[in-house]
Chain A
């Protein structure tokens, strides 16, 4: 028995040594492997293929399974992080920088003649820059417009305004387009929108999260209250958008871009607020006759800008190749591909013009690309405060928006509570961090 067990132990040790000795080399076939953590958008494969064609010495392995912020940070700090990864907003960028994961590429980009402040949409500044230094190269920009099913609107004799318009004009149209069966069950919503995208409503009302110095949260101001009130009214007063229950039934499918997009694609909504990137899914629907116009706003022609930016892991063992990949995001080849794929629009306005941008020969039915450019031109970045991390703000806002969405709080009550709680969190942070408190006080100095 003892002999048998000893033999088993010996065999296990021998097998382990064998596996260790025969594991494949990290640079298979002489090519350097890069791991890119991005979302699970199917368009990424074509993007990596293009890079590999231009850089035959590098293989890019896409790893969408690790795309959560916490996974990237923990893996990177443990020394097994990806070489390049994407940040989707200012909060993520700040988290990557503060945790010491993101590489400062200011000088690197400058040495290659890239000036992001000059060359990309200003709405993307929070995705690229942190405290004056550059970390991310934006890979696309998304600013939402209003999608509509042209044939549904034609049938109703409705023509949507082009350019700037207001919610007061939208509401009667959405009411006309909301169809119910005799029992009152909604067959078609006038307008679909995502509650997580409250910042877009804020932008249209010129509502501010913070005072310009970032020291005080002011979501209790009338502009922000009006923005949230409009979201609530669309659901409960005008009844043109889904309630939380109806909305939850849209998001059970899972996967990339599911939810509101599939609901809209299935014509359960006549109009929907969303980005050009929706086409990555909507193109697969047969027989859609789509149109796009700017979204209605409250008081000002302004939309929320969002998008992706690619960052380099400063501890990557393949820094040279990782930087090469990051710069590829600013190359004309890549920008053209983004526009052709409709992965938002290219983050560099110079690429978003001319016939090649306006008319995609593969999709002649998409006659609205100029509208997306105009929306991006009028887009504004998310607000961030140096005195509180954007994640804490997002969490607090989510709690309050949940209560508004469920009809349990008025917009005014919710925004008053949000401002109170966020300001309390700022005060707590200042108490715990003397350096931050000094920076806060220094703003008073002339």
Chain B
């Protein structure tokens, strides 16, 4: 029997194009009902599924250079779906979906032990220390496709999985079983005014992400594109977010501590 080919949804972010404007962050917040607080300036406590970091080359003026690095969940595949967070979750609140390659997060299953936060090398997971409260009337802007998370649980980027489901629903309604590349795009990809983010199926050679990332499946998806790198690749997390940069110091920075922006 024919098995449908598994997908590996992934992202390529061209750091040469990224302007650090923050549209991806805000698109994500609006799409995914991310709560906000009166004082969100402590970025360790502020919830953002997508965060733009600022990298510096460490040189002094005027040789100083900066580069911006948007960081969604990296959707690690590890070895056969053993992503760092999935392996430690005692509640099966987070899981690696072999059909899509997406690391899910089910808020209603999570009981807030935060093992996953400790395990994640990328700080993509954030804890709801407070009840999400919207100013009077603003809760009208909430998106019904994404559940609002309450105090005491962990949340993170889902590659806008609800958009995948909606796109599939629409395709099924038309009698199709497969999606076209443009039908499933994350909110950040869609919003990026510089066209820096590309999203699609890394397993599909026709998709732009595949062409840009040139993943080498024999070597855990390592890119064959000399401009491309992944964050902390040496950890073997086998992430599905690839970054492109023409600057060497930026590519090197992908493997050391990042500074927040």
**Are A and B a genuine interacting pair, yes or no?**
no
Spell out B's residues near A (CB within 8 Å): none
List chain A positions with a Cβ less than 8 A from chain B. none
